[in-house]
Amino acid sequence: MAVTLADIADRVGVTQATVSMVLNKAPSSVRISERTRQKIFQVAEELNYTPSFVARSLVKGRTFTLGLLMGGIESAHHAEVTTLVLEEAEACGYRVLLAVTEWSHEKELECLDMLVHHRVDGILLGSHALRSGTRQYEYITSQHVPIVLLGYSEEFACAYSDWKPGMTQTLDFLTKKGYSRIGYLHSDTSGFTDFKQMDLKEVCQRFGLALKQYTCEPNQADCARCGRQFARTDQGPDVMIVQSDFMATGFMRGLYDQGLQVPRDLAVVGCDGTNAGEFFVPPITSIAQDCRVLIKGAVELLVEMIGNRNVPKRKVSVATRLIVRGSA
Amino acid sequence: MAVTLADIADRVGVTQATVSMVLNKAPSSVRISERTRQKIFQVAEELNYTPSFVARSLVKGRTFTLGLLMGGIESAHHAEVTTLVLEEAEACGYRVLLAVTEWSHEKELECLDMLVHHRVDGILLGSHALRSGTRQYEYITSQHVPIVLLGYSEEFACAYSDWKPGMTQTLDFLTKKGYSRIGYLHSDTSGFTDFKQMDLKEVCQRFGLALKQYTCEPNQADCARCGRQFARTDQGPDVMIVQSDFMATGFMRGLYDQGLQVPRDLAVVGCDGTNAGEFFVPPITSIAQDCRVLIKGAVELLVEMIGNRNVPKRKVSVATRLIVRGSA
DNA sequence: CTGAAAGCGCTAACAG
DNA sequence: CTGTTAGCGCTTTCAG
């Protein structure tokens, strides 16, 4: 089908091996007559030769492919994360096989299997699937499959945002503006610890502030429902911190449906600091992650682990900060 | 490193070939003693055997991987397209290698090369990179690499939305509501024909309506700039149709910045009918694509082309329709 | 019913 | 300086 090294070798009158060397090694490190080298390149060009990564992968035992597992990419933040992974991976010479799990625990495990079947060199876990006890967990730990989690983890190497600085800035800002009754809306479906929440709690305590918690599903529709309900019944918070900008948009829609105005009737602070938040009406005040740095750190860590499987499980932490826009 | 067929074969006391058969063929089609078959499965389980897709790919000449090339995935519509491709591909037994090009023509071509190197079985082109004259174009056409474009194309198999029905419904709706001065905001950077625009023009003509055109970059910031400028100076349109919901959000932000209200001062109609548009303030009236059907069609067409390279270049067309929400 | 052997396209030693 | 050889892990004939 496609043209192979052998085709070139035949035409030039040398062996595959020679062609392989000439084409792949640094010109200095391979000793060959200038005539032959020229001819090889010329014939490769003529024949439109394209090296097969799959053959190379087989022999090298590496695919130069990273697996990326995301719960979903419909929110601007997750789309940004995905894009950055793609960019950073490429910068390190890797391709990425993307799998989205729709936040289903079962599907996450299936996708993990798929990535292993494909022999990706490492896995970036954007959805927190891996718990001890599953076959996949055992496999990955026992085989030392390089893996880094996007988010905090005790068990694996990971890259996560440190929410404390951002939360501190936020409470500082809010209290100075006269807000004092803090609400926190988050989704509780994953079954995993919400470290963001823990940080917020801690910081609230430091400020001597109570925290009223709300939960809903991590989709816009349910956040909107929650917003409507809040508007109809709640007399508590004067500011709502929402787990993500994405969820904040849903929540705000619910508020509007009931005639509430943001920030006049209720201030809203999102999380993630997505670019898109700036274009919402009103623009969303948000505790921003430094995604670029975070993902760069994650990918580089993963690549390092691929290069040397004995590198200790590091944790990359990146500070957050408050971006004040219009919603608070 | 990983456990191979040979490892299993050794332990069971048969050959690789036998193990391969037993593990991969339908139980009915392979004649083997029940004892051996049991043992093979058992040992495979014990050893945590995971077949290597790369070895299989090499011998089969197929990778069971589709390449997906997108300009970007930050807009809700493109994220949805990507997600659907992932889903449909999986349904057909394919994985997907995603590449995003940031809408750069050069990068599109590089990514195309990368996908070919990786020997993807087929390519889904979400960003319109391929023009005759490029090396990649020659390669793909001459090698008959299965490819389907997302969007209309004369040269390649493609799946596209037919905007006429949606546009017709829209103009019908708008004129009945008393709007008559139609504007169309789109980005003109790609250098490719905007078939949406052509359909709109044609339908406007049928309605005896003039169409005033505006152009800007396809990012929210520039759309906002355009919105502000419109608000300050324009006395024309009473309704603006915008090329995408994503761009519409940016444009509306610009309008708000100048104190205009939607739809009171200017009605806005987006395109794509993204779910996210429903949660915007105000919710975006939009000409919706039926993404699910479109992508399903595209992937199935591609898979069919992979199975049989002689299948004629078909075009899949899916009708659009107006979704009335709050912005018009 | 099962085993042996060849080969997918490429790389890496080691000979010549 | 270049060629030969031996695999990487799997599938697929073809013998036995």
Residues 125-154 of B with CB under 7 A from strand D: none
Nearest to A149 by CA among A176, A130, A167, A175: A130
Q: What is the mean pLDDT of residues A25-43?
A: 77
Lowest-pLDDT range, A105-119, B20-34, B285-299? Answer: B20-34
Q: Residue B37's pLDDT is what?
A: 83
pLDDT at A222: 96
User: Among B7, B56, B68, B73, which would you mutate to test the A interface (most chain A Cβ atoms within 10 Å of its Cβ)?
Assistant: B73
Q: Identify whether the C-beta of residue B53 lies closer than 8 Å to the C-beta of residue A117.
A: yes
Reported pTM: 0.94
Question: Is residue B109 left, alpha or beta, with left meaning phi > 0 and alpha meaning psi from -120 to 50?
Answer: alpha
pLDDT of residue B191: 62
Mean pLDDT within B72-89: 97
CB of residue B17 closer than 7 A to nucleic acid strand D? yes
Q: Does A58 touch chain B (CB under 8 A)?
A: yes
- Tell me which residue in A52, A54, A98 faces B98 most closely, judged by beta carbons: A98
pLDDT > 90 fraction of chain A, expressed in percent and rounded: 69
When pLDDT is cut at 50, 70 and 90, the band that residue A33 belongs to is confident
Interchain contact, A119 vs B256, CB within 8 Å: no
Report yes or no: A132 at the B interface, CB cutoff 8 Å. Answer: no
Q: Work out the minimum CA distance from A203 to partner chain B, whole angstroms.
A: 31
A38 three-state secondary structure: helix
Distance A5 CA to D14 C1' (A): 29
Q: What percent of chain B has pLDDT over 90?
A: 69
Contact status of B224 with chain A (Cβ, < 8 Å): yes
Q: Is A156 helix (H, G, I), strand (E, B) or coil?
A: coil
Give pLDDT, residue B298.
98
Checking if the pLDDT of A120 tops 70, the result is yes
What is the pLDDT confidence band of residue B269, given thresholds at 50, 70 and 90?
very high
Q: Is B304 left (phi over 0), alpha (psi -120 to 50) or beta?
A: alpha
**Mean pLDDT over all residues of chain B?**
92
The mean pLDDT of A198-218, rounded to a whole number, is 94
A143 — contact with chain B (CB < 8 Å)? yes
B161-184 average pLDDT score? 96
Residue B139 has pLDDT above 90, yes or no: no
Segment A302-315 mean pLDDT: 91
Percent of chain B surpassing pLDDT 70: 97
| For range A235-245, the mean pLDDT | 94
Q: Confidence band (pLDDT; 50, 70, 90) for A212?
A: very high
Between residues A240 and B141, the one the model is more confident about? A240
Sign, CA torsion A242/A245/A251/A252: positive
Q: How confident is the model at residue B190 (pLDDT cuts 50, 70, 90)?
A: low
CA distance B105 to B299: 24
CA(A97)–C1'(C14) in Å? Answer: 37
What does the pLDDT average to over A95-123? 94
pLDDT at A32: 76
Give the DSSP H or E segment for A213.
Answer: strand A211-215
Contact A213, A242 (CB under 8 A): no
Q: Tokens for B282, please give them.
A: 């105000």
Strand partners, B272: B288
**Confidence band for B236, pLDDT divided at 50, 70 and 90:** confident
How does residue A251 score in pLDDT terms, banded at 50, 70 and 90? very high
| Token pair listed for B21 | 């058969």
CB-based contact B1 A61, cutoff 8 Å: yes
A62: helix, strand or coil = coil
**Highest mean pLDDT, choosing among B133-142, B282-291, B301-310:** B282-291
Residue B264, pLDDT score:
94
> Six-digit token pair at A255?
């508020």
What was the pLDDT predicted at A138?
85
User: Cβ distance B290 to B248 under 8 Å?
Assistant: no
Whether the per-residue pLDDT at A308 is higher than 70: the answer is yes
Distance CA B261, CA B259 (A): 7
Residue scoring higher pLDDT (B84 or A311): B84
Mutate to test the interface with B, among A74, A216, A325 (most CBs of B within 10 A): A74
Count H helices, E strands: chain A?
A: 12, 12
CB within 8 Å: A58 and B61: no
Per-residue confidence band for A1, with pLDDT thresholds at 50, 70 and 90? low
Residue with tokens 């956040």, as numbered in its chain? A223
Among the listed residues A187, A178, A198, the one whose alpha carbon sits nearest the alpha carbon of residue A238: A178
Q: Which of A220-229, B187-196, B285-294 has the lowest mean pLDDT?
A: B187-196
With tokens 């082109």, the residue in question is: B125
CB-based contacts of B38-47 (< 8 A; 24+ apart in sequence): B39/B12, B40/B8, B40/B12, B40/B14, B43/B8, B43/B11, B43/B12, B44/B8, B44/B19, B47/B3, B47/B7, B47/B8, B47/B11
Q: What is the pLDDT of residue B203?
A: 96
The encoded tokens of residue A71 equal: 């719960």
Residue B53 to residue A281, Cβ atoms within 8 A: no
Mean pLDDT, residues B164-185:
96
Can you give the pLDDT at residue B265? 95
Taking the C-alpha atoms of residue B97 and residue B114, their distance in angstroms, rounded to an integer, is: 10
pLDDT value for A190: 61
Task: Tell me the average pLDDT across A79-97.
Answer: 97
pLDDT digits (tens, 9 = 90+) for B30-75: 667 777 888 888 888 888 888 999 999 998 899 999 999 999 999 9
A184, pLDDT greater than 90: yes
